[in-house]
């Protein structure tokens, strides 16, 4: 058994290293003083002149009307906010992601509540349809979005992109909320109903607080799915509606710059923060289940 545990842990460590190390390589390369995607001799020798913050500064200044003006003044920050290409892409990603998350969370939570009912007919078929965006290749789904939204006038609009991202995020909410409801004690809702609580009051004051960790986790996964999506944006977005993934895709195709590595490093830190939040919510959900 000891040999098996050692082999198993060693294999897990190797798999984790295989998955994580290619991502971590991006971090030091984003500080390269030269416009290359490789480690220079100065970087390998750990010389200070081999490292620079210039690509992180370029994240702000790329596309500015006057990048030579004094930095960190009100005019400079206003120029960054108005004309910075990466800043505009971040604004679009946050706006679309938050709106899509709100829609996906509401729809996914309602769907999960319905699917949790034991007497629901065609439950497996409905679940398969809801989860189909996770199975069908995103290119096919995005092409369907494009033809349908073009016919109803939603192509090249923020509303169309938000709805597409929301539909892609609903399966994540359904899965997490359904998993939370699997351990839900329904006697508390029946007790609330016996005390005179209507369906809406019962849900708002009893059900929602108990399943909130699952709802929040699903919302975070839906936000990550929206924030990371590029194919649907390419099909549906207008040129001025670039998100961060689409901006990175355009940068790789048109002008390779280490600025992309700086943005990728920022996104890695952002993803780690979101995953840490998901883990905290998962632990809170486990504690709630244990207390029940």
Q: Which CATH superfamily does the domain covering 89-291 fall into?
A: MetI-like (1.10.3720.10)
Total residue length of the chain:
292
Q: Is the pLDDT of residue 121 over 90?
A: no
Q: Please state, in angstroms and rounded to a whole number, the distance separating the CA atoms of residues 244 and 88.
A: 9
Confidence at residue 240, expressed as pLDDT on a 0 to 100 scale = 82
Confidence at residue 163, expressed as pLDDT on a 0 to 100 scale = 93
Helices (H), 45-198: 54-61, 74-83, 85-115, 123-135, 138-152, 158-181, 187-194
The residue-averaged pLDDT of 165-186 equals 86
The CA R_g of the chain, rounded to the nearest whole Å, is: 23
- Record the tokens describing residue 119, joined without a space: 């007497």
Could you tell me which residue, 143 or 183, shows the higher pLDDT? 143
CB crowding 238-260: b at 16 or more within 10 Å, else e: eeebbbbbbbbbbbeeeeebbbb
The residue-averaged pLDDT of 78-93 equals 91
| Token pair 């509401």 in the structure block, residue | 106
Q: Residues 9, 11, 15, 18: is their CA dihedral positive or negative?
A: positive
Q: Please state, in angstroms and rounded to a whole number, the distance separating the CA atoms of residues 26 and 251.
A: 16
Q: How many CB atoms lie within 10 A of CB 186?
A: 11
Q: Please name which of 88, 171, 179, 182 lies closest in space to residue 126, comparing C-alpha atoms.
A: 171
Q: How many CB atoms lie within 10 A of CB 222?
A: 29
Confidence at residue 7, expressed as pLDDT on a 0 to 100 scale = 87
Q: Please state, in angstroms and rounded to a whole number, the distance separating the CA atoms of residues 260 and 268.
A: 12
In the predicted model, what is the mean pLDDT of the chain?
86
Dump pLDDT digits (tens) for 98-116. Answer: 999 999 999 999 999 888 8
Could you tell me which residue, 202 or 88, shows the higher pLDDT? 88
Q: Is the pLDDT of residue 94 over 90?
A: yes
Q: Where exactly are the structural domains of the chain?
A: 31-83, 89-291
The residue-averaged pLDDT of 41-46 equals 86
Dump pLDDT digits (tens) for 210-245. Answer: 888 888 889 989 999 999 888 999 999 888 888 999
Least confident of 29-43, 64-78, 191-205: 191-205
pTM of the predicted structure, to 2 decimals: 0.86
Q: Is the pLDDT of residue 292 over 60?
A: no
CB 32 within 8 A of CB 53: no
Q: Please state, in angstroms and rounded to a whole number, the distance separating the CA atoms of residues 195 and 205.
A: 13
Q: Is the pLDDT of residue 82 over 60?
A: yes
Q: Write out the DSSP string of 21-67.
A: HHHHTHHHHTTBSSS-SS--HHHHTT-GGGB-SHHHHHHHHTT-S-T
């Amino acid at each position: 058994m000891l040999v098996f545990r050692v082999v198993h842990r060693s294999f897990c460590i190797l798999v984790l290293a295989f998955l994580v190390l290619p991502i971590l390589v991006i971090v030091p390369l984003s500080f390269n003083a030269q416009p290359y995607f490789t480690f220079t001799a100065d970087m390998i020798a750990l010389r200070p002149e081999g490292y620079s913050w210039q690509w992180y500064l370029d994240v702000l200044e790329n596309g500015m009307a006057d990048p030579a003006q004094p930095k960190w003044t009100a005019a400079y920050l206003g120029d960054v906010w108005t004309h910075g290409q990466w800043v505009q892409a971040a604004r679009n990603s946050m706006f679309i992601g938050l709106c899509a998350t709100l829609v996906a969370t509401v729809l996914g939570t309602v769907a999960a509540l319905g699917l949790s009912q034991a007497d629901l007919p065609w439950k497996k078929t409905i679940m398969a349809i809801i989860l189909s965006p996770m199975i069908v290749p995103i290119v096919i789904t995005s092409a369907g979005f494009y033809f349908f939204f073009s016919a109803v006038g939603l192509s090249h609009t923020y509303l169309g992109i938000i709805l597409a991202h929301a539909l892609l995020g609903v399966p994540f909410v359904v899965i997490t909320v359904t998993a939370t409801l699997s351990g839900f004690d329904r006697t508390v809702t029946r007790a609330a109903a016996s005390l005179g609580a209507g369906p809406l009051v019962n849900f708002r004051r009893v059900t929602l607080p108990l399943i909130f960790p699952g709802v929040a986790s699903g919302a975070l996964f839906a936000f990550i799915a929206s924030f990371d999506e590029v194919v649907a944006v390419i099909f549906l977005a207008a040129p001025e509606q670039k998100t961060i993934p689409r901006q990175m895709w355009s940068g790789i195709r048109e002008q390779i710059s280490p600025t992309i590595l700086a943005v990728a490093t920022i996104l890695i830190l952002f993803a780690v923060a979101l995953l840490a939040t998901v883990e905290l919510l998962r632990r809170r959900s486990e504690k709630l289940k244990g207390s029940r």
